[in-house]
Amino acid sequence: MKIELRSDREFDVIAIGRACIDLNAVEYNRPMEQTHTFSKYVGGSPANIVIGGAKLGLRTGFIGKISDDQHGRFIEQYMRSVGVDTSNMVVDREGHKTGLAFTEIKSPTECSILMYRDNAADLFLHPSEVLEDYIRRSKILLVSGTALAQSPSREAVLKAIRLAKQGDVKVVFELDYRPYTWTSTDETSVYYSLVAEQSDIVIGTRDEFDVMENSFGGRNETTIETLFKHAPELVVIKHGLDGSYAYTRSGEVFRGEAYQAKVLKTFGAGDSYAAAFLYALIRNLDIATALKYASASAAIVVSRHSSSDAMPKIEEIERLLELHVSH
């Protein structure tokens, strides 16, 4: 099965959600208490995904609210410099601040994120700031689950999804569950299910699908049985180092293996995975190949310091895949 995308659109992917700042520990392999220096990057899952897409050569755009200060301007300038269209990024005029993520790299496997997201500007995106004409210029609308956590961002995203569906724009839902943004898992489950059922493609980790189902230890088969009663054509479920699975509505199942990497930190894997997976679908490659590109892209980003600036070029992904064929 192949995902049919409109060929008459100016943008390949427009994402909606947060564009924030990551401050990644420079002195890694130690706890945050002993860390003095951090490197600044653009962060936030949907921003990372369109940055990754742009670095792969896709035409990408972004809808989101940024703070009216140096951090907001840094984000906009960086995204523009890598080729993301920022014309529909909105500057907050009510004093809300950019979300900050301090990342702690205790060891390659023990990484955590310390978030400063009280009144984060991205969650104040208003439905009136989501423009129909813009969404209709894209093949895909990428929705981040975190943007559903609070109003008015929640309503802005629901409006964007409705406009996308009316405009024949495929909706890709990245569950992107960040617990600190939500007040209860019951609430998350309600909004995740609502949006997943309307989306064409749903991507998440097994744990994130459990949050959507408000359960523990859920089975992929149960998840897809439920989702395929609704709009989704393709469901991608990631299992970390155990690889990932793509399920199609027509009954096909594909497994992607994770590639070994010299891991520096684990975050950023999911965003680089999504960027390369979408790249492959947009270039009309098959789903099995899309899983390979996604896993290779993730293996590259976990071996580097950031989640946005570290996004690979297509040649780097293809080189890694060639190495795996020849071994």
Ligand X SMILES: Nc1ncnc2c1ncn2[C@@H]1O[C@H](COP(=O)(O)OP(=O)(O)OP(=O)(O)O)[C@@H](O)[C@H]1O
Query: How is residue 308 written in tokens?
Result: 């946005």
How many residues sit close enough to ligand LN3RO5KU to count as binding (CB under 6 A)? Answer: 14
* 204 or 270: CB nearest ligand LN3RO5KU: 270
Site string for ligand X, 95-124 (x = CB under 6 A): ------------------------------
271 lies in the binding site for ligand X (CB under 6 A)? yes
Residue 179 CB coordination number (10 Å): 10
Q: Which of 4, 82, 85, 52 is CA-nearest to residue 294?
A: 52
* 144 or 266: CB nearest ligand X: 266
Out of 235, 307, 309, 317, the residue judged to bind ligand LN3RO5KU by CB under 6 A: 307
Out of 14, 20, 237, 264, the residue judged to bind ligand LN3RO5KU by CB under 6 A: 20
Out of 82, 243, 283, 324, the residue judged to bind ligand X by CB under 6 A: 243
42 lies in the binding site for ligand X (CB under 6 A)? no
- Shortest distance, position 316 Cβ to ligand LN3RO5KU, whole Å: 19
Query: How is residue 152 written in tokens?
Result: 């008015």
Q: Which of 205, 268, 216 is CA-nearest to residue 240?
A: 205
Q: Are 96 and 122 in contact (CB under 8 A)?
A: no
Q: Are 80 and 1 in contact (CB under 8 A)?
A: no
Q: Which CA distances in Å does 103 have to 23, 112, 150, 273?
A: 6, 6, 24, 19
Residues 184 to 243 in contact with ligand LN3RO5KU, rule: CB under 6 A: none
Sequence-distant (6+) residues with CB within 8 A of 99 are 18, 20, 21, 44, 115, 116, 117, 120, 121, 122
Residues 36 to 65 in contact with ligand LN3RO5KU, rule: CB under 6 A: 43-45, 48
Q: Are 295 and 279 in contact (CB under 8 A)?
A: no
Q: Are 273 and 294 in contact (CB under 8 A)?
A: yes
267 lies in the binding site for ligand X (CB under 6 A)? yes
139 lies in the binding site for ligand LN3RO5KU (CB under 6 A)? no
Contacting positions for ligand X (CB under 6 A): 205, 238, 240-241, 243-244, 258-259, 261, 263, 266-271, 273, 295, 298-299, 302
* Residues that bind ligand LN3RO5KU in the complex, under the rule CB under 6 A: 20, 22, 43-45, 48, 101, 113, 178, 267-268, 270-271, 307
